Amino acid sequence: MELEQFDFVVVGAGVSGLSFANWAREEASRLGRASPTILVVEREREPGGYCRTVKRHGFTWDFAGHFFHFRHADIEAWLRARMSGAVRTVERSARVRTAPVPGSQAVEVDYPFQRHLQQLDQIGFIACLADLYQASKHTEATPPASFKEMLTRRFGAAMCERFLTPYNEKLYACDLDTLEVDAMGRFFPHASLDEVLAGLTTPAGERAGYNATFQYPEGGAAEFVRALVRDLPERTLALDEQVQHIDLERRVVTTSQRKIRYGQLVTSAPLPATLTACGLEHDQAAFTSNRVLVFNLGFDKKGRKDVHWIYVADPARIFYRVGFYDNIVPASRMSLYVEVGLPAGSERPDVGVLQQRVLADLAAEGIVQPGQKLVAHHHVVMNPAYVHLTARSVAEAARARADLERHGVYSVGRYGGWTYCAIEDNLVETRALAARLLATNQ
């Protein structure tokens, strides 16, 4: 039997896969050519990947706290032109709860921590400044060998023990010495001694940094995905269908339902899974990551009103971040997301036990008050969530992606690229890829 054939088969209907499908059509139209034939194959029953929203008992929750910063005005305008619901522009109110250290209490300060040291207790403030000053004097001959060493060398011990180290250890669920110096890329809020000192006399609003405001659709993060689906012709999406095998020689994918021939394959599946599906040898051990277990929790009454999310460094608390949806899209009942970093692995977390622990820790932190009752909940495990960027993973990802490209397979997106990025990066990357592929496919 003749196999179905498409110019592009796209693996995954997350932001990367869907945006590639849009950009490829737009690029063809710009070049005055017929639209390429595209099939987006998605193993889940709905599109969106990690950018999905659940609605339950009047609460609107995402798969994890998803808030949006656009550096490309044209990308933002393109998305907004395809959205019908309201999008809020919110002035960020984020806090940091430090870890207690001997002689210094745990306190809550504004985010970013590095720029609000004057809000610490006096002992903590002096210790952080003294250590930061010492750190700024050291000029080591060799660059730091790891993320952990970068933190200590750049910020000094006192800032590390109060926030930077315990917080990131909870988030990444690994030894920070195993991570690359630049493990968080542009998402890490660096601050020099001069900037910290300047921050002491700067009004609070001006200390907030580049992403002091963010965008959030009232209907949840999935509104962006709806925008990405809107213009795609019917039958572009094949849901509930998993790509299982990729035959690089014959350019045929085998899914859970059929075989499909492709001209080129664009995949947003995690890179190691793609390499396995292609039968390509690779350094599997280079690709490590954490998992994030997200609890979405709805309560019968409102809680605190002054904050959008809190980073929690105290190792005694199981979560690293707690956010308040009801303060982002104002609502009368407290609606939380709570993020817990877990090491990678296949064993299923005991969600019931962990939810009890989360609720106990929320009460201990005073986030849930005695009169508030949990009325709805949902959870999701994001696996992988934060990839561990190491020298080995960066080199292996570059090598493997180049190898795939030689076979007409383009591995894109947060997990296809095995990187740390946001949805705007996914849109930018796939736009460039569509332009490149259509320019060469005359």
Ligand X SMILES: Cc1cc2nc3c(=O)[nH]c(=O)nc-3n(C[C@H](O)[C@H](O)[C@H](O)COP(=O)(O)OP(=O)(O)OC[C@H]3O[C@@H](n4cnc5c(N)ncnc54)[C@H](O)[C@@H]3O)c2cc1C
Contacts with ligand X, residue ranges (CB under 6 A) = 11-17, 41-44, 49-51, 64-68, 242-243, 268-269, 292, 382, 385, 413-415, 421-423, 426
* Residue 55: strand pairing partners: 60
The Cα-based distances of 303 to 225, 308, 325 in angstroms read 30, 12, 11
Distance CA 430, CA 418 (A): 15
Strand order in the sheet with 321-324: 108-110, 94-97, 309-312, 321-324, 335-343, 290-299, 374-382
Distance in Å, CB of 59 to ligand X, minimum: 18
Q: Residue 37 or residue 419: which is nearer to ligand X going by CB?
A: 419
Q: Residue 49 or residue 298: which is nearer to ligand X going by CB?
A: 49
Distance in Å, CB of 229 to ligand X, minimum: 12
Q: Residue 156 or residue 384: which is nearer to ligand X going by CB?
A: 384
Distance in Å, CB of 39 to ligand X, minimum: 11
Distance CA 130, CA 156 (A): 8
Q: Residue 69 or residue 304: which is nearer to ligand X going by CB?
A: 69
Q: Residue 66 or residue 92: which is nearer to ligand X going by CB?
A: 66
* Residue 309: strand pairing partners: 94, 323
Distance in Å, CB of 382 to ligand X, minimum: 5
Q: Residue 135 or residue 294: which is nearer to ligand X going by CB?
A: 294
The Cα-based distances of 54 to 59, 62, 98, 274, 297 in angstroms read 8, 6, 31, 28, 12
Distance in Å, CB of 56 to ligand X, minimum: 19
- Number of neighbouring beta carbons within 10 Å of residue 381: 15
Distance in Å, CB of 51 to ligand X, minimum: 4
Three-state secondary-structure class, residue 376: strand
Q: Residue 17 or residue 298: which is nearer to ligand X going by CB?
A: 17
Distance in Å, CB of 221 to ligand X, minimum: 8
The Cα-based distances of 111 to 44, 117, 122, 380 in angstroms read 36, 10, 18, 26
Residue 368, C-beta contacts closer than 8 angstroms, at least 6 positions apart? 299, 303, 334, 359, 362
